[in-house]
Amino acid sequence: MNVSSPERIMFPEIGLTKAEMVGYYETMADLIFPFLVARPLTLERYPRGIDAKGFMQKNAADHFPASIERFEVPKSDGGTTTFPVITDPTDVPYLANQGTVSFHIWTSRVPDTDRPDYFVMDLDPEEGDVAKARLAAEAVGSVLASFGIDSLPVATGSKGYHVWAPIVADVAWENVATSAQAIAGLVVAAHPEIATTEFLKKNRHGRVFVDWMRNHPGASVVSPFSIRPRPRASVSTPIAWNELPSTNPDTWTVTNMAERINDLPVWPDRSVLPYAAIEEAARNAGVDLDTRFDRFGRET
């Protein structure tokens, strides 16, 4: 495709140009497209490169092509947000050419956005504490497996890991959100020395924050194979469980992903989310499921 300002430096530390960034998304379009298609997107844009000010774009621009559909969502304070929803792999490099560095997705699809088909846990450590992040990710995977849920870790390209579990889209948001809170609580109950559900960093005391809030209506998570606005142009990359001990969150980048493409793990099949059993187990373990939170971690 014709790239506007192709020589613009998007990642100054490694000299990565806009043409190279768009080229990455052209090459990876068939891999990232299945994660993006039919989902409301939030575009993390840095039109002048990551050293300049970026912004999160939720509303589809008027000039976006017809292949990018619009999905209106009412705002709590009135009005609507009109999210872009892509329908064609060529939409991926097109949006990269608009300065999109990262693609953030809903965990449900249009039109039935009330039924999530992904369950995602975010393991957020203190900067540089990869060892605890790995232990927390393993703990999440183990708890999910105890309920018959297959999952896969993702090296986020930032400072931690995500654990993704494809689920059958037959459970309402409320039950998915409660299950996520329950799973987080069970992980913390089993590993209080490494994991916490404390929102405030000052109260975490070096423990990994097990963030379940991606599993709420309107919340989003960075898509696998998205570039992150980090100095080395690191990429959010699925890894196998046996790769977790040797793979840092930012191991894979735009410049070395070609080595990874033919060695990706098999994505898990969709699991049924046994939300009632998860909630019961958490309550029996003393997990507080009655305090409700919005997607920003504020008590409601």
Q: What is the mean pLDDT of residues 262-291?
A: 96
Each domain of the chain, given as residue ranges in start order, spans 9-105, 118-217+267-284
* Chain segment 65-123, per-residue pLDDT in tens: 999 999 999 988 889 999 999 999 999 999 999 999 999 999 999 999 999 999 999 99
Statement: residue 295 has pLDDT above 70: no
> What is the DSSP pairing of strand 161-166 with strand 118-124?
antiparallel
Tell me the HSE value of 183 on the side-chain side, using a 13 A CA sphere.
37
Q: What token pair was written down for 156? A: 């986020």
pLDDT at 191: 97
How far are the Cα atoms of 56, 122, 269, 293 from residue 180, in angstroms, in the given order?
Answer: 25, 11, 19, 12
Helices 173-190, 130-146: axis angle to 10 degrees equals 120
The helix (H) or strand (E) run that includes residue 279 is helix 275-284
In Å, the largest CA–CA distance within the chain is 59
Q: What token pair was written down for 148? A: 């018959």
Q: Tell me how far apart the alpha carbons of residues 133 and 40 are, in angstroms, rounded to a whole number.
A: 29
Contact status, residue 68 vs residue 91, Cβ threshold 8 Å:
yes
pLDDT at 127: 84
Q: Tell me how far apart the alpha carbons of residues 164 and 150 are, in angstroms, rounded to a whole number.
A: 9
Is residue 298 classed exposed, middle or buried when 0-12, 13-18 and 19+ CB atoms within 10 A define those classes?
A: exposed
Q: Helix H segments across 9-159?
A: 18-36, 91-97, 130-146
Q: Tell me the one-letter amino acid at 7.
A: E
The CATH number of 118-217+267-284 is: 3.30.70.3300
pLDDT at 128: 85
* Chain segment 198-247, per-residue pLDDT in tens: 999 999 999 999 999 999 999 999 999 999 999 999 999 999 999 999 99
pLDDT at 78: 86
Contact status, residue 51 vs residue 12, Cβ threshold 8 Å:
yes
Confidence band, pLDDT 50/70/90 cuts, at residue 297: confident
* Chain segment 40-60, per-residue pLDDT in tens: 999 999 999 999 999 999 999
The pTM of this model reads 0.96
Q: Tell me how far apart the alpha carbons of residues 43 and 33 are, in angstroms, rounded to a whole number.
A: 14
Q: Tell me how far apart the alpha carbons of residues 226 and 233 are, in angstroms, rounded to a whole number.
A: 10
* Chain segment 108-138, per-residue pLDDT in tens: 999 999 999 999 999 999 988 999 999 999 9
Contact status, residue 86 vs residue 36, Cβ threshold 8 Å:
yes
* Chain segment 234-265, per-residue pLDDT in tens: 999 999 999 999 999 999 999 999 999 999 99
